[in-house]
Amino acid sequence: MQSNEPLRLSLTNITKRYPGVVANRSVSLSVKPGEAHAVLGENGAGKSTLMKIIYGAVKPDEGAIQYNGQAVQIRNPQQARALGISMVFQHFSLFDTLSVAENVWLGLDPSFSLAQVSARISVKAAEYGLDIDPSRPVHTLGVGEMQRVEIIRALLTEPKLLILDEPTSVLTPQAVDKLFVVLKKLVSQGCSLLYISHKLHEIRELCTACTVLRAGEVTGVCDPREESNASLSRMMIGAEPPALKHEERTPGAILFEARHLSLEKENQFGVNLLDVNLQVRAGEVVGIAGVSGNGQRELLFALSGEDVRAQPDAIRLGEQAIGQIGPSERRQAGLHFVPEERLGRGAVPSLSLAHNMLLTRNEAISPSGWIHTKVLKDQAQKIIQQFNVKANGAQAAAQSLSGGNLQKFIVGREIDAKPKVLLVSQPTWGVDVGAAAQIRGELLALRDAGCAVLVVSEELDELFEICDRLYVMSNGKLSPSIQRKDATVAQIGEWMSGLWESHAET
C-alpha cells in the first residue's frame, strides 16, 4: 500500500447493545486496500454483528466508520453496495420461491435484464468453478449450492470490500481451493477482504492480518501466518480445543439400513436415488462424503421420513420396515435427525428455544395434550448448559442466536433424546473450533453408548476424525463402504466423481 493511500475501512470504538447482551464493545479495526483481513472469535463473540454494521444491515449504538478515508454512515445494504461493499452471509439471504437468477437480480443494478443476469451468472460460475444453474429455484438447492449463489451474487457487484462470513463452511476441499484462487486474485487487484472462518488453516493461508474478538471486545491483532493453529485457538477461546478420543471399537448389530433404495426425483432439479445400500451398526459412526447436490438431500429426506415414497422394506430401523412412515413415528421408534438447514427446518426462527424443543421432543406434553412449560424450560436450559450455548435463556428466540450457537442447541436437543439411531447433516457447520470439538466428542460418546450414528458432511477432515466407516455419494449413487483407517483423502476425492474401486467393502 502506498503511504499516502487511505485505509479502505476504519472502525473506531464501535459498540452495539441488545437486550441482555453487548454484542460489540468499543471495537476498532482497520483494513488496508488489497488486504485479506481475518476476524476470528468463538461463536457469539460478535463477529457477525460487526460485519452487519459494516454492511449497513445493523446500526451501531456508538462509534465511527471511515471508508476510503471518508467518514460515512452506512444506513442500509443498498448504500453499502453503492460504496463498493458486498457481503456473503453465513445465514443465506435468499428467497426460496425465486430462481437463482432472480435472487441475484434483486441485488444488482436494475438496468440489467433477467436474461443478462443469467448470462453473467453462468460466466462467473464457469470462471470461478462455482457450478450453478441460474434457472433453478432456490428451494431445490442444498446448502453448499446456496453458498455458491451467495458468493456469485457478491462477486457480480465487483466489490472493493468483500465481507465473507463462513464462506467455506459447506464447500468441499476442491471447491475451497478454487474459491481461494478467486479471492487471492481479487486481493491482487486491490479488493479488500474481511474474512470470518473457524477454519484456522484457511485464515493462515489466505489472510495477512487478523483481529481477534472475545465476548464482543478486541483481544488481539496479529499476522496469522506467524501463528499456529494452537496459538490462534488460545487467542480466540483462551485455550486449545480438547483432543478428540476416538478409540477403535467392535460395532454391534445392524440398527439402520437402506436396501436397494431407489427414488425418482421430485422435481426437475433434483437427483434420482439409484439402488442405494447402506448399513449403520450399534456403536458405530458412519460418514457419507460428497459434493453438495449429488443426492445427499434426497437421501436424507428419505431416511428421516420427510419423503415417504420408498418401499416399506427399503429402509429398516432394526427389524422394523419404516420406508413409508413419517418423521414422528420414526422418532418414536428411536430415530432422530439433525437437518442441514438450521433456521426453518431445524428450528422455527421466531419461537423460543424452549418451544423449539417441541419440534422433536414430547416429554413436556401430558397424555391429555397439555404442555408443561416448566418441563420444557428445564429441558432447554439443560441443553444450553451442557452444550455451552450462548443465549439469553430458554426464552430466547432461535433467530437471536449466532449460527454456531443455534447449531449446538439443535445437535444437543437430538443427542439429549438418547436416540437408537442419529442422522446428522453438517454437524459443525459454522461452529467454532472449541464447539466443533465438543459436538464431535458428544457424537463419539453417543456411539460409545451404543447408538448408530450416520453423519453427512462436506468436510472431509471432520469425517476422517469421527467416522469408523465411510461411503461416498455421487450422482445419486452410493459407493461401497470403506473403513476409515483404510481410506485416504485422495481416494475419497476420486470417489466423489463416481470412480470407486471394486475392492472396497460391501
Residue pair 164/195 in contact by the 8 Å Cβ criterion:
yes
Q: Where are the domains of the chain?
A: 9-237, 254-343+420-495
pLDDT at 90: 72
pLDDT at 490: 85
Residue 243's alpha-carbon distances to 296, 299, 415, in angstroms, are 29, 32, 20
Domain 254-343+420-495 falls in which CATH fold?
Answer: Rossmann fold (3.40.50)
Helix 433-448 crosses helix 403-415 at what angle (to 10 degrees)?
10
Identify the top-confidence range among 101-110, 168-177, 298-307, 455-464: 298-307
DSSP per position, 12-34 = EEEEEEETTEEEEEEEEEEE-TT
Residue 128 has pLDDT above 90, yes or no: no
At residue 427, what are phi and psi to the nearest 5 degrees? -60, -30
Q: Are strands 284-289 and 452-456 parallel, antiparallel or unpaired?
A: parallel
Residue 278's alpha-carbon distances to 175, 290, 319, 462, in angstroms, are 27, 15, 15, 20
Q: Compute the mean pLDDT over every residue in the chain, rounded to the nearest whole number.
A: 90
In tens, the pLDDT along 8-55 reads 999 999 999 988 789 999 999 999 999 999 999 887 889 989 999 999
Is pTM beyond 0.95 here? no
Spatial separation of the C-alpha atoms in residues 404 and 345, rounded to whole Å:
16
Q: Are strands 9-18 and 62-67 parallel, antiparallel or unpaired?
A: antiparallel
pLDDT at 505: 55
Task: Lowest mean pLDDT of 39-48, 400-409, 458-467, 496-505, name the range.
Answer: 496-505
Spatial separation of the C-alpha atoms in residues 363 and 258, rounded to whole Å:
29
Domain 9-237, architecture per CATH: 3-Layer(aba) Sandwich (3.40)
Beta bridge partners of 193: 36, 162
